[in-house]
Amino acid sequence: MEELPQEAGEEVEQPEVQPGEQIEEPPEEEPEEKNIVLPGDLIGTSEEFTPKSGTFVDKGNIYAATTGVVKINTRERSISVMPVTNVPPHLQAGDIVVGQVTDVKDSVALVEIASIKGRGEREIVNAEQAAIHVSNVKDAYVKELSSEFSPFDIVKAKVIDMRNMRLSTVNKELGVMKAYCSNCRTVLKRDNSKLKCPNCGRIETRKISSDYGTGIV
């Protein structure tokens, strides 16, 4: 028998989608790889893909801007992240949340939400990743996001966009509640508009909440 060379079918079946039409997931098929990504996860490079919704580009790398499933359109060579909607049911836009800064990039600070204000201060069972965009930090121009937030900072922020899990600190009581010296890890003390390390004397800047150091959430 003649052996036909069989190339492995790399072609991914893509449903025909009319412009402006919502892509509907096939209802029956179990998704083979539910590749869930979190905000800030590296998902590709701008050389490989055109970044679409739910992504952001930083220095040629494409990152997830939202918690969701990575979708690659092989024809357009585009990549997007479809948001997943398993956010804690009681978290809503307008809620004030407290969380810890996990990473600070050029345009976003990533925050792991720990609790929601005014709901009995209940802990959120599945901590959610959220992001503060540079335009939502304060009511003034932000030159460097790293002058406003640092990893490990405890921040109080308002949920402004559930779909993309965006937070805002544009308000005097919002911002950093507790920060650590980047030199010696001591908790920084407020010194007027700046923060000072009582141990090594280092001065740092943050988008400080008016409740900094009070423990008041």
Q: Read off the DSSP letter of residue 5.
A: P
Q: How far is the CB of 191 from Zn ion (least distance, A)?
A: 13
> Judged by CB, which is closer to Zn ion: 42, or 203?
203
Q: How far is the CB of 186 from Zn ion (least distance, A)?
A: 5
Q: How far is the CB of 203 from Zn ion (least distance, A)?
A: 10
Q: How far is the CB of 58 from Zn ion (least distance, A)?
A: 29
> Judged by CB, which is closer to Zn ion: 84, or 200?
200
> Judged by CB, which is closer to Zn ion: 162, or 197?
197
122 close to 115: Cβ distance less than 8 angstroms: yes
d(CA 166, CA 63): 15
117 close to 97: Cβ distance less than 8 angstroms: yes
Q: How far is the CB of 154 from Zn ion (least distance, A)?
A: 17
The footprint of Zn ion (CB under 5 A) covers 181, 183-184, 186, 197, 199-200, 202
Q: Read off the DSSP letter of residue 147.
A: G
- Strand duo 129-133 + 166-168: pairing: parallel
> Judged by CB, which is closer to Zn ion: 189, or 202?
202
Classify the C-alpha dihedral 97-101-102-107 as positive or negative: positive
- Strand duo 55-58 + 108-116: pairing: unpaired
> Judged by CB, which is closer to Zn ion: 14, or 183?
183
